[in-house]
Amino acid sequence: MDSASTRKSRPIRHGGRVLADALVAQGIDHVFEVPGESFLDTLDGLYDQSQKLRLVTCRFEAGAVNMAEAYGKLTGRPAAAMVTRGPGACHGSIGVHVAMQDSTPLLLFVGQIPHEDTGRDAFQEVDYRQMFAPLAKWVTQIDHAKRIPEVVAHAVDVATTGRPGPVVIALSEEMQRDRVDVRDIPRAPVSVAFPDPAALQQMRAMLAKARKPVAVLGGSCWQEQGRAAIRKFLTDNDIPVTVGFRRQAHYDGTLDNFAGDLGVGSDPGLIAKVKEADLILAIGSRLGDAVTQGYTLLDMVGSVPIIQVLPDGGEIGRVFRPALGIVSDLNSFAEAAAALDPVQPVWSRWTRELRSLREAQRAVPNYEGTLNLGTVMRELETMLAPDAIVTTDAGNFAGWATRFLNFGDGQRYIGPTNGAMGYSVPAGIGAKIVFPERMVVSLVGDGGFMMTGQELATAFHHGVAPIVLVFNNQMYGTIRMHQERAYPWRVSGTALTNPDFAKLIEAFGGHGEVVSETAAFTPAFRRAVESGKPAIIELRVNPDQITTRATIADLRAGKTPPKSAAKPKRAPAAKHPAPARASVSAKKRG
């Protein structure tokens, strides 16, 4: 019960201010938004809390929500994104899908129409509980300002506990204006799930019996101490370590038990080896679609024993039956596992065998064309700061980094495991806003860049300088690859015409470079870093080298060209010089 004196000293606040105060009370410190007239009172509340809540104004809702998602990936805590009703929510929804599939804590606030107009198909009206039901972990709406502190506190708990994920909160328009007398609710110290000691002993016993164990490391919300502990456990036991799709920097790639990534475009040699394993230790990995190569890597009845560690029991064994499931916060599990007596690793030769596969993959083939992207990635590796953050997008270009780049322990690599194009540039800007002192490099294709590249204006607005590497092959290369496999020579709907990317960033006031020869990359990257400005390095790549392992000619090999393909439709000529076209070879590479 409030005493009369505390009630007197407490100001009556409008709902927008109560919301801003509730965010501060729950430890939220960043809000990424595109404004709408549906949340003017909340913007007004944020004005009063500008010392504690950094307001990042973006140019597109997909950019704003992806920035907030990147914040969640990098810190393990949720940021808030704010968008307007209807169209704003639709644009922003992609970031909610990323956060859901990638298990990232996130809060999305959506300005809602006045509650009294509900059901009239009012201007921009949407029922968010229906719209986001399959996309978010929880969707709710606040219709009474007095409920704000309670709902925000619960939303943070839902977003951060169990399997982390996105929560969507619609804000009725009039309740943001209502003036109420309500107390802030403090953050609750909730202890996380610790692994059962008996299960840890069972895990150790299973490991002691194994001859060819493989760890699959994935999941979200790893903290420094958890990363250090899992590294100790996996190196003490000399277990070969693979990482899940787009979870590359979860493990130090320079260690001699790192075996590479399991995901899209992974090394077929590694995939074959994982099929030979006699124990799978899935730590944080949901063993999802991409990691398990479309659910083919393992069998579902569990002939090969699987130990699966996840913070949410409901996710354990969702597809593949484990021999042992351990419900635990990943960091707590790592610390408990590191404290176990190591098993005598009779499999060290197996571990070295898997490591040598990784090393063989990193040897750069002599690709045709003037720009060898394998060498570019190896050069980039030597120039990345020890604590650099690298972001990626969806697209075939991403395979160059996963194959040739090893990330060190202090570095981070974040990308959309749900395969959302348009993620990398906003994620890099969000990362640089949150960690301005760290080097941030965003990798993106020409297709993905043109989806959300305009967010670079946000980088200028907030005075941060990420470096963007645009892999320009003048096509939606991934789809072209699938197309050539299914319908060789019949290029349909996948060619692109691009601007001059270097000139584009110069128009913003940034630093532009065009690189079409291998030797030009290192000095161009150095100049970009030294410029201190947001920078784009356009990599004019050989469009025929469709993946790190195949050319378009390889995909067509052995198939007869259809008559209709005699004159392939081409995209209109670009105004700037097109990427150098190299002759293709039917020989498989790498």
Cβ closest to ligand TPP, residue 16 vs residue 447: 447
Binding of ligand TPP by 466 (CB under 6 A): no
Task: Tell me the two tokens of residue 536.
Answer: 């784009």
Cβ closest to ligand TPP, residue 162 vs residue 579: 579
Amino acid at 467: I
**DSSP letter for each residue of 465-527:** --EEEEEE-SB-HHHHHHHHHHSTT---S-B-----HHHHHHHHT-EEEEE-SHHHHHHHHHH
Give the one residue of 396, 406, 442, 498 binding ligand TPP; rule: CB under 6 A: 396
* Cβ proximity of 365 and 590 under 8 Å: yes
CB of 579 to Mg ion, least distance (A): 10
Cβ closest to Mg ion, residue 308 vs residue 542: 542
419 binds, among Mg ion, ligand TPP, none (CB under 5 to 8 A by kind): ligand TPP
Cβ closest to ligand TPP, residue 103 vs residue 494: 494
422 binds, among ligand TPP, Mg ion, none (CB under 5 to 8 A by kind): ligand TPP
Could you tell me how many residues make up the chain? 590
Binding of ligand TPP by 407 (CB under 6 A): no
Distance CA 429, CA 327 (A): 34
361 binds, among ligand TPP, Mg ion, none (CB under 5 to 8 A by kind): none
Task: Tell me the two tokens of residue 445.
Answer: 């294709």
CB of 74 to Mg ion, least distance (A): 26
CB of 477 to ligand TPP, least distance (A): 3
Binding of ligand TPP by 539 (CB under 6 A): no
357 binds, among ligand TPP, Mg ion, none (CB under 5 to 8 A by kind): none
3-state secondary structure of 383: helix
Binding of ligand TPP by 99 (CB under 6 A): no
Q: Vertex 66, ends 427 and 437: CA angle to 5°?
A: 30
Residues paired with residue 142 on neighbouring β-strands, in sequence order: 171
Q: How many C-beta atoms lie closer than 10 Å to residue 461's C-beta?
A: 14
Cβ closest to ligand TPP, residue 200 vs residue 469: 469
Binding of ligand TPP by 545 (CB under 6 A): no
434-463 binders of ligand TPP (CB under 6 A)? 445-448
CB of 540 to Mg ion, least distance (A): 11
- What are the contacts of 572-578 at 24+ separation with CB within 8 A? 572/497, 574/474, 574/497, 574/498, 575/500, 576/499, 576/500, 576/503, 578/474
Residue carrying structure tokens 């150790």: 204
Binding of ligand TPP by 369 (CB under 6 A): no
347 binds, among Mg ion, ligand TPP, none (CB under 5 to 8 A by kind): none
Distance CA 360, CA 270 (A): 11
Q: What is the DSSP letter of 284?
A: B
CB of 398 to Mg ion, least distance (A): 11
Binding of ligand TPP by 548 (CB under 6 A): no
Q: Which residues contact 421 (CB under 8 A, 6 or more apart)?
A: 393, 394, 395, 445, 447, 448, 451
**DSSP letter for each residue of 227-259:** HHHHHHHHHHTT--EEE-TT-GGGS-TTSTTEE
C-alpha separations of 494 from 94, 376, 580 in Å:
22, 25, 18
Cβ closest to ligand TPP, residue 356 vs residue 497: 497
* Cβ proximity of 309 and 330 under 8 Å: yes
Give the one residue of 132, 471, 501, 521 binding ligand TPP; rule: CB under 6 A: 471
Binding of ligand TPP by 397 (CB under 6 A): yes
CB of 497 to Mg ion, least distance (A): 12
Binding of ligand TPP by 521 (CB under 6 A): no
Query: What residue number has its CB nearest to ligand TPP?
Result: 445
CB of 498 to Mg ion, least distance (A): 9
Cβ closest to ligand TPP, residue 95 vs residue 240: 95
Distance CA 31, CA 17 (A): 14
CB of 167 to Mg ion, least distance (A): 34
C-alpha separations of 480 from 245, 460, 486 in Å:
21, 34, 10
Give the one residue of 53, 65, 274, 394 binding ligand TPP; rule: CB under 6 A: 394
Task: Tell me the two tokens of residue 22.
Answer: 């509730």
Applying CB under 5 A, the residues found at the interface with Mg ion are: 445-447, 473, 477
Cβ closest to ligand TPP, residue 71 vs residue 476: 476
Binding site for ligand TPP (CB under 6 A): 393-397, 419-422, 445-448, 471, 473, 475-479
